[in-house]
Amino acid sequence: MKNSLSTAEVESYTQPFLDFITGNPTVFHAVDTVARRLESHGFTKLLSREQWKNKIKKGGKYFVERNGSSIIAFAVGRNYECGNGAAVIAAHIDALTTKVKPIPTKPTKAGYVQLGIAPYAGALNKTWWDRDLGIGGKVLVKDRSTGKIQTKLVKLDHPIARIPTLAPHFGAPAYDPHPNPETQMVPIIGLDRSGAQDTDALSDMSSLGTGLLQGDSLFASTQPPRLVNAITKKLKIDDSATTASDIINWELEVFDTQPAQLGGLDKEFIFAPRIDDKLCSYAAIEALIASTSDTSTQDNSQPSDDDKIIKVVGCFDDEEIGSLLRQGARSNFLPSTIERTVAALAGGQGSPDLVSQTFANGFMISADVSHAVNPNYLDVYLEKHAPQLNVGVAVQADPNGHTTTNSVSTAFLQRVAEKCDSKLQVFQIRNDSRSGGTVGPMLSSAMGMRAIDAGLPQLSMHSIRATVGNLDPGLGVKLFKGFFDHFEEVDAEFT
């Protein structure tokens, strides 16, 4: 359905977005939830290990995951012809977080149990102090009967960890602008009164990591016993046979547990963790679903729309650390997914020529959050380039190639915005500041695809909690859906 979203439809995305943020604190939970949402709207899961030749059809909707932390979804128009373009939205679904160390067990210090964690990208900054932190992530469990390794997601439901600030009464150390992230930002996760107070904790290091769980696997014995117990107990909810010795490894994150919620006098704000960039990921996925489903029926098994193109959304892991891992945007994940799709649709007769034609006929929105104007620091923003909340997506310009935006791609998206009744804002950083990067340049250069950088504006980027407008999730869906809906007409103006 190619209608523009009404105000009520825009608003209807607010609460589901809050639920998405609160319910999916780790990148693994977020990707899993996106996959289940796609499945419920008629998207079929493809496996990278299998041939796609007879699996992809015109009118079909599909998704493929990598590492459980990146996901690409796409829908092939019913009137697709070989060589036609792909309309792509690329976002990143990872967020600043802290990761539990391989062997996180710490000696009990002054009666506290502590946990070894490491910052992912710029996390563990001062906004992480005195927050209620939870623990969750991906656990590899060996199935005793089959011997197969299964991945299970786990999150403990209550705040477990806390990085305590030092009261100002202690003077200089409390005001240190650069606390040591290895020694002064170690979360406490419990009390231990079992032994004598350990005043020389480091001397006790050699006793750690062995013999703590007698008879259990090597992995579990390297982890804090009470954490192992808590995770095992949680896993037993859906599998009563799981014991600590069945856990062969895990990737756990420590995250903000405070729910995403509405704020402001008339609830015009969203205060939430992990906005960057689950916000544009959420909006892009919902836009793909809305553009390729007939929302007037409850039948979600219906085929894709009758367009002539492939509509694609990629939500990538690892953007915050440079994207150069197999599930990152700098990998072959997106180009190879499009190549395999084009080949499958050509009956296995795909060629480099056909793939390059698809890229050349395509257009990509690199959708990452932008900076909303902060009223207390107006002078750090460039005049007329300072986006506001609840207005719409901001085009991100940068003269030095940190984004993909140029005159043609701006004009292209402006035409899309006109057709779907959306407003575009513009952001550029001042000459005396430093522009951040996105997945746009790496992906558009890998595919030779025209591209623009455009995302929703937020306050407090890289803080543990950020602010956007209550309408911003829906305004993102509105523009991105318009991009998919009107791609063919707008592209025809540019050929």
Closer residue to Zn ion, CB minimum distance, 188 or 475? 475
CA gap 306, 310 in Å, rounded: 11
Sign of CA dihedral 365, 366, 368, 369: negative
Closer residue to Zn ion, CB minimum distance, 345 or 464? 464
Helix (H) or strand (E) holding 230: helix 225-235
Closer residue to Zn ion, CB minimum distance, 251 or 277? 277
**Shortest separation between residue 368's beta carbon and Zn ion, angstroms:** 4
CA gap 495, 493 in Å, rounded: 6
Q: What is the DSSP annotation of 309-326?
A: SEEEEEEES-GGGTS-ST
Closer residue to Zn ion, CB minimum distance, 65 or 276? 276
Angle at 77 (CA atoms; ends 72, 81), nearest 5 degrees: 110
Closer residue to Zn ion, CB minimum distance, 277 or 472? 277
Beta bridge partners of 118: 99
CA gap 459, 154 in Å, rounded: 30
By CB under 5 A, which span of 198-206, 365-373, 387-395, 467-475 interacts with Zn ion?
365-373
By CB under 5 A, which span of 69-77, 139-147, 285-293, 366-374 interacts with Zn ion?
366-374
Here's the x/- map for Zn ion, 124-163, by CB under 5 A: it reads as ----------------------------------------
By CB under 5 A, which span of 116-124, 156-164, 209-217, 362-370 interacts with Zn ion?
362-370
Angle at 155 (CA atoms; ends 322, 47), nearest 5 degrees: 60
Q: Contacting Zn ion (CB under 5 A), which of 368, 398, 453, 491?
A: 368
Strands 61-66 and 70-76, by their bridges, are antiparallel
Closer residue to Zn ion, CB minimum distance, 46 or 280? 280
Here's the x/- map for Zn ion, 262-291, by CB under 5 A: it reads as --------------xx--------------
**Shortest separation between residue 94's beta carbon and Zn ion, angstroms:** 9
Nearest Cα to Cα of residue 128 among 98, 168, 95: 98
Chain centroid, CA 339 distance in Å: 24
For residues 290-309, which are near Zn ion according to CB under 5 A?
none
**Shortest separation between residue 428's beta carbon and Zn ion, angstroms:** 17
Alpha helices by DSSP H, listed for 24-139, are 27-39
Closer residue to Zn ion, CB minimum distance, 253 or 368? 368
Please, is 162 exposed, middle or buried when counting C-beta atoms within 10 Å of its C-beta (0-12, 13-18, 19+)?
Answer: middle
Residues contacting Zn ion: total by CB under 5 A: 3
Q: Does 472 bind Zn ion (CB under 5 A)?
A: no
Question: Which residues form the interface with Zn ion (CB under 5 A)?
Answer: 276-277, 368
